[in-house]
């Protein structure tokens, strides 16, 4: 199956890829390995040509899962990440060159390969100059271990500093009709520098699928501590979500498809990587790649989530401290 394609890391990939995190952790109990592998294979069958994993996801389990489809390597671009990692059962942020090299070598071992097509710094380590971290990735590229360098959740200023050391191929950040921070500066910076922008959580961690109606999340769900998914803030936010769901019905698509179509409409340099554990939802997401909606509908999406429509920070204070992306002047940060 062939899907519309966009440029990423000197290749053409499907405009919609797959964020693999959900298959190992984050939203409650992950599926078993067999079900996860089945979903990965189905994604490739449907034409998805971009799989995104990370050392952090499942403490390496996600990379080991992705390794099981490496026999189909010619069908997809492989992306993973460093700097954030799990060590001795503890989440660590370490952007030192030695740590990056260690994480990369471990990732290559878990993935069963000697080359990762696109390798991101998962977050900015403010204790290490970005030039030193990028330098480590340049050396990894020169050694043939990675093909292209990416950054995740970083500001326009940091992107430009990194790009001055070596061309950055992709910048990944959370982006959806709900989370608009990349519009402050990062989207334009990527366009100006010829960098692909990769939108993660493009359906706002499930909020824009219409499935989230309360904060009764299962243990282990990363939304449990997130302020905008809790109590009175969530109740307020659902008013905007209800208007969005109604608009999707009027447009003849699902809410998830409307969100993905909106994200892809923000620029030809934008690709989206929704995550899911459901093959039915996977098919739904893939169909959004070919969805053509009138500009008037997309403009109404933008208007529904105008400033003030969503209350509550997107991260806890501890998680926000690791985010370098620009924030709005009136944005709640805790």
Contact yes or no for 232/222 (Cβ under 8 A):
no
Paired tokens of 10: 């000197």
Paired tokens of 76: 């997809």
Paired tokens of 272: 């989206």
Which 3 state secondary structure label does DSSP give 194?
A: coil
Q: Rounded distance, CA 264 to CA 196, Å? A: 12
Burial pattern 215-230, b for ≥16 Cβ within 10 A else e, equals eebeeebbbeebbbbb
Contact yes or no for 232/150 (Cβ under 8 A):
no
Contact yes or no for 258/251 (Cβ under 8 A):
yes
Q: How many CA atoms lie within 13 A of 288 on its CB side?
A: 30
What's the burial of 329, exposed, middle or buried (CB within 10 Å: 0-12/13-18/19+)?
exposed
Q: Rounded distance, CA 164 to CA 155, Å? A: 14
Contact yes or no for 199/263 (Cβ under 8 A):
yes
Task: State the catalytic residues.
Answer: 57
Q: Rounded distance, CA 142 to CA 166, Å? A: 12
> Closest by alpha carbon to 315, among 218, 200, 228, 214?
228
């Amino acid at each position: 199956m062939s899907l519309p394609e966009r440029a990423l890391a000197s290749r053409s990939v499907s405009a919609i890829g797959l964020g693999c995190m959900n298959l190992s952790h984050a939203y409650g109990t992950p599926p078993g390995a067999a079900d996860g592998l089945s979903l990965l294979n189905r994604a490739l069958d449907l034409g998805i040509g971009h799989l995104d994993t990370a050392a952090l996801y499942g403490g390496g389990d996600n990379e080991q899962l992705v390794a099981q489809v490496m026999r189909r390597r010619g069908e997809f671009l492989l992306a993973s990440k460093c700097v954030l990692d799990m060590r001795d059962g503890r989440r660590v942020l370490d952007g030192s060159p030695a740590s990056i090299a260690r994480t990369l070598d471990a990732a290559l071992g878990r993935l069963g390969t000697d080359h990762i097509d696109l390798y991101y710094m998962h977050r900015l380590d403010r204790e290490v100059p970005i030039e030193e971290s990028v330098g480590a990735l340049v050396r990894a590229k020169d050694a043939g271990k990675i093909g292209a360098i990416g950054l995740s959740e970083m500001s326009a200023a940091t992107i430009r500093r990194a790009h001055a050391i070596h061309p950055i191929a992709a910048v990944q950040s959370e982006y959806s009709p709900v989370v608009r921070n990349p519009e402050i500066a990062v989207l334009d910076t990527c366009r100006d520098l010829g960098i692909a922008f990769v939108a993660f959580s493009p359906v706002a961690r499930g909020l824009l699928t219409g499935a989230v109606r309360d904060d009764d999340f299962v243990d282990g769900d990363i939304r449990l501590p997130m302020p905008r998914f809790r109590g009175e803030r969530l109740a307020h936010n659902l008013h905007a979500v209800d208007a969005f769901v109604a608009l999707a019905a009027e447009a003849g698509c699902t809410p998830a498809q409307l969100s993905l179509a909106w994200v892809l409409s923000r620029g030809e340099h934008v690709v989206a990587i929704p995550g899911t554990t459901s093959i039915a939802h996977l098919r739904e997401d893939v169909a959004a790649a070919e969805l053509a909606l009138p500009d008037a509908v997309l403009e109404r999406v933008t208007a529904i989530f105008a400033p003030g429509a969503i209350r509550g920070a997107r991260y806890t204070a501890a998680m926000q401290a690791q985010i370098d992306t620009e924030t709005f002047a009136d944005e709640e940060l805790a």
